Amino acid sequence: MSKLLQIALGVFTSIGGFLEVGAIATTAQAGAAFGFQLIWAVLLGTICVTFLVEMSGRLAAVSRHTIKDALRERFGPRIYVAILVSDLLINLMVLAAEIGGMSLALQLVTGISFRWWAIPVGVLTWVLLWKGSFALIENGVSLLGMVALVFVVAAYKLHPPMSQVVGGFIPTLPTERPYHYWFTAVSILGAAISPYLFYFYSSGAIEDEWDEGHVGVNRAVAAVGMGFGGVLAIAVLVVAAMVLHPAGIEPERFEQAALLLSEPLGRWGFYLFAATLFISCLGAAFELALATSYSFAQGFGWNWGESVRPRDASRFTLIYTAMIAVVSLLMMSGIDPLRITLFSMALTSLTLPLVTFPFLILMNDGDYVGEYGNGWISNAAVVVISLLASLLALVAIPLQLLGG
């Protein structure tokens, strides 16, 4: 039974790590601009992140180390600090996007500008982290996150042409607006393959005290959790393809995306859109804040743990406190949430090999994973997809900035 509850870790990681403001924004844009054509990007991202999540769980279960802990040990402080700094910068940006997402959800419903919600949202996130235990946050978000299923319901109700949906799983070249196409593909990959997601997962596995016996259930959790996220993301894309694409609406502002669910589902759809946005961004904010705290604590050897009292892990707590404070103040200045979302997703794609390659070295190092090392499929899938994401980003980002 408790192993079934472990699925909660997978689903939670998925709600916050997979389906959050980045995934919603990028898949909505993809569906609106290109119909069903970019489903393959979501599929590719889901496959890659499933492998990465499974690996991070396996590493934790077998070596009793988290990724960050093992990275410092294996590669030394210089490489570690380089990874830490780039990690921190991207996490700050993505956290800003998530705070923005939550603030926007509240703006949609109340009409009060998202700028005024940034600080209250930050305070709420912080209080829940401060007072809550890991299990509470994990299970709470998993449960509430089920509201995201509304996208699957909407996609079903809209009766998309199945031949076109299936066709979208096969990568195709764009017939028009190639720059925008590839940039959108890159942002989808960056939204799906978020490093903070699997860093968080490995720490979560240690918090939940996994051991070698969990290797099998880890595989199931990774597959179910990320598969769930992938299905949700595809559902968003399908709804956008059915609702926004025919109308010629391409969201330039997040507010336009609210029409996604109000069309097929009426007033309920509108509020459930806001709820899904809010809860998934809250889950993501938790993961980002904790992942960053874990990064520092595990790299420098501090006491850490979400279930530990703040005063017993003061430096760990200080990191997420400072992070949330800085980001909330930043978002109060009125930075466009959609823009920072898309930019941070593209940047994630660009730097993916820097994250995955050291990780892969660990996963093939007998000292850490013993006989549970990576098979060639895991290695190949991650290498190919992260290189692809990075190369595409290298080309697509400048083009988008210049011409897009």
State the residues that interact with other proteins by CB under 8 A.
63-65, 69, 72-73, 76-78, 81, 107-111, 130-131, 247-250, 252-253, 255-256, 258-259, 262-263, 265-267, 269-270, 297, 299-304, 309-311, 314-315, 317-318, 321, 367, 403
Query: CB of residue 13 vs other proteins: minimum separation in angstroms?
Result: 24
In this structure, what is the dihedral angle of CA atoms 289, 294, 300, 305, given to the nearest 10 degrees? 110
- Residue whose CB is less far from other proteins, 229 or 269: 269
- Residue whose CB is less far from other proteins, 77 or 398: 77
- Residue whose CB is less far from other proteins, 373 or 404: 404
Query: CB of residue 349 vs other proteins: minimum separation in angstroms?
Result: 23
Query: CB of residue 182 vs other proteins: minimum separation in angstroms?
Result: 16
Query: CB of residue 292 vs other proteins: minimum separation in angstroms?
Result: 16
Please give the structure tokens belonging to residue 9.
């870790």
- Residue whose CB is less far from other proteins, 3 or 309: 309
Q: Which of 231, 32, 271 is nearest to 149 (CA)?
A: 231
CA angle 104, 98, 55 (to 5 degrees): 150
Query: CB of residue 361 vs other proteins: minimum separation in angstroms?
Result: 14
- Residue whose CB is less far from other proteins, 159 or 267: 267
Which residues have CB under 8 Å from 369's CB, separation 6+?
Answer: 58, 59, 62, 63, 362, 363
- Residue whose CB is less far from other proteins, 259 or 290: 259
How would you classify residue 248: left for phi > 0, otherwise alpha for psi between -120 and 50, otherwise beta?
left
d(CA 168, CA 34): 10
Tell me which amino acid residue 355 is.
Answer: V
- Rg, C-alpha atoms of the chain: 20
Please give the structure tokens belonging to residue 395.
């080309």
- Sequence length of the chain is 404
Tell me which amino acid residue 231 is.
Answer: V
d(CA 302, CA 10): 26
Query: CB of residue 98 vs other proteins: minimum separation in angstroms?
Result: 20
